[in-house]
Amino acid sequence: MKLKKIRLVVKNNSFAYQEALKIKTWLEKEKGLGVQWEEQEESSNRERPPFPEELDLVVVLGGDGTLLKAARLYGHQEAPILGVNLGGLGFLTEIGLEELHPLFEKILRGEYQTENRMVLTGQIIRDKEDLPAVPFLNDAVINKGALARIIDIETSIGGQFLTSYRGDGLIVATPTGSTAYNLSAGGPILHPSLKTILITPICPFTLTNRPIILQDDAVIDIRLVSKVSEVWLTFDGQVGYPLKAGDLVRVQKTVKSIHLIKSPFKNYFEILRTKLKWG
Is residue 79's pLDDT more than 50?
A: yes
Active site residue 168: no
pLDDT in the model for residue 36:
86
If you average pLDDT over residues 74-89, what whole number do you get? 85
Grade residue 78 by pLDDT with cuts at 50, 70 and 90. Answer: confident
Q: Bin 159: left if φ > 0, else alpha if -120 < ψ < 50, else beta.
A: left
Per cent of the chain over pLDDT 70 is: 94
pLDDT in the model for residue 1:
57
Looking at every residue in the chain, the average pLDDT score rounds to 89
> For residues 27 and 20, is the Cβ–Cβ distance under 8 A?
no
pLDDT in the model for residue 233:
97
If you average pLDDT over residues 35-62, what whole number do you get? 69
Choosing from 56, 64, 139, 221, the catalytic residue is 64
Is residue 44's pLDDT more than 50?
A: no
Higher pLDDT, 126 or 77: 126
* Lowest-pLDDT range of 26-40, 58-72, 265-279: 26-40
Grade residue 128 by pLDDT with cuts at 50, 70 and 90. Answer: confident
Helices (H) and strands (E) in the chain, counts: 5, 20
If you average pLDDT over residues 198-217, what whole number do you get? 95
Is residue 163's pLDDT more than 50?
A: yes
R_g over Cα of the chain: 20
Grade residue 41 by pLDDT with cuts at 50, 70 and 90. Answer: low
Strands (E) across the chain are located at: 5-11, 34-40, 57-62, 81-85, 95-96, 114-117, 120-126, 129-130, 134-136, 139-144, 151-157, 160-167, 169-173, 196-202, 212-215, 220-224, 231-235, 239-242, 248-253, 258-261
Strand partners, 117: 258
Domains detected in the chain? 5-117+257-276 (3.40.50.10330), 120-253 (2.60.200.30)
> For residues 8 and 27, is the Cβ–Cβ distance under 8 A?
no
